[in-house]
Amino acid sequence: MAFPTTRLRRLRRTDAMRSFVRETRLSPEGFVYPLFVCPGEGIRKEIRSMPGVYNLSVDEAVKEALEVKSLGIPSIILFGLPETKDEIATGAWADDGIVQKAARAIKREVPSLLLMGDVCLCEYMSHGHCGIVKKTGAPKGSETEYEILNDPSLEILAKTAVSQARAGMDIIAPSDMMDGRVAAIRKGLDASGFENIPVLSYAAKFASGFYGPFREAADSAPAFGDRRSYQMDSANLREAMREIQADLDEGADMIMVKPALAYLDVIAEARRRFDVPLAAYQVSGEYAMIKAAAQNNWIDHDRVMMETLTSIQRAGASIILTYFAKDVARLLA
């Protein structure tokens, strides 16, 4: 019925009323908190472009994991900064790799915390790309001077996934964007007795300008070129659906869209089409923009933080990877 019988403002009059009829409700139970683990002991080095986020030695990462669990956040995802890098990403799949050491230590102290392992090679490659690199003979400086070799990289990704599972990871999350990597990882896990370890695929991962602070945090900027030949073109929603379908066909149990805010339409379309758990990653650049604007008193930090995360959940993501996880958990408490 029309106004004046219908008055939609009746349900907005007070905070209690607004809360009572709220459609989307954030909860720490849907958050994953990213941790960057580095060699050494007693290290807690703040990342310049990400205030409040740190490179942590294993002992400090354990302390962080304990705090995360105490706040009601069920999961963390681990990224590693190895002591050395090479052209076959040895540090990614070594049993004594930095992420593997951290996983074992955290599992000993916080066994009920869900550990998610990011399976990618960029942090461990001397050139900073997500796969094996070959020079093509094309003119120097051209886009095709180097090629990221897809199929040879799959073996390393599968080895990395198995190594992480052995170290105690509960969820394997491949983020490299090589074709066929989910199938290779699933085959490797199953052959090694880890058939019950689920795969959360970064299924629609876009080549994005929002990753800048992460590359500082993980020391993973490519030494040449960029990642547009394997990460997705930001203009393509229909292709994102094909990527998601392909990963599900290969055995992915859960899917992810990354980044989040500039891709809410992709999240919404994925939620409409696919009946599997859907994650979204509120990436480093999204976090850094909010932090920087708040530090300059241009925005209300907590209000914008909550508004952006609510929009990601409203679009359809039930799992959100976010550097704000601890802040939100404290605020909601």
DSSP class per residue in 304-317 = HHHHHHHHHHHHT-
Q: How far apart are the first and last CA of the chain?
A: 39
What are the backbone dihedrals phi and psi of residue 144, each rounded to the nearest 5 degrees, phi first? -105, 15
What span, in angstroms and rounded, lies between the C-alpha atoms of 27 and 90? 38
Enumerate the active-site residues.
205, 258
Residue 46 belongs to a domain: yes
Yes or no: say if 165 and 199 are a contact pair by the CB < 8 Å rule.
Answer: no
Overall domain count for the chain: 1
Could you tell me the CATH number of the domain that includes residue 214?
3.20.20.70
- Degrees (nearest 5) of the Cα angle 188, 193, 195? 75
Residue 184 belongs to a domain: yes
Block residue for tokens 């066929």: 180
Three-state SS letters, 18-55: HHHCCCCCCCHHHEEEEEEECCCCCCEEEECCEEEEEE
The tens-digit pLDDT sequence of the chain (333 residues) is 799 999 999 999 999 999 999 999 999 999 999 999 999 999 999 999 999 999 999 999 999 999 999 999 999 999 999 999 999 999 999 999 999 999 999 999 999 999 999 999 999 998 888 889 888 888 887 888 888 899 999 999 999 999 999 999 999 999 999 999 999 999 999 999 999 999 999 999 999 999 988 888 777 778 777 888 889 999 999 999 999 999 999 999 999 999 999 999 999 999 999 999 999 999 999 999 999 999 999 999 999 999 999 999 999 999 999 999 999 999 999
DSSP output for 119-177 = E-STTTBTT--SSEEEE--PPTTSTTSEEEEHHHHHHHHHHHHHHHHHHT-SEEEE-S-
- The DSSP symbol for 233 reads P
Is the whole model's pTM more than 0.85, yes or no? yes
* Residue range of the domain that includes 286: 26-332
Residue 110 belongs to a domain: yes
Residue 18 belongs to a domain: no
What are the backbone dihedrals phi and psi of residue 149, each rounded to the nearest 5 degrees, phi first? -80, 115
Hey, which bits of 224-331 come out as E strands?
A: 254-258, 278-282, 319-322
Yes or no: say if 182 and 158 are a contact pair by the CB < 8 Å rule.
Answer: no
Residue 166 belongs to a domain: yes
Q: What is the maximum span of the chain, computed from C-alpha positions, in angstroms?
A: 74
Residue 49 belongs to a domain: yes
Residue 10 belongs to a domain: no
Residue 14 belongs to a domain: no
What span, in angstroms and rounded, lies between the C-alpha atoms of 279 and 270? 10
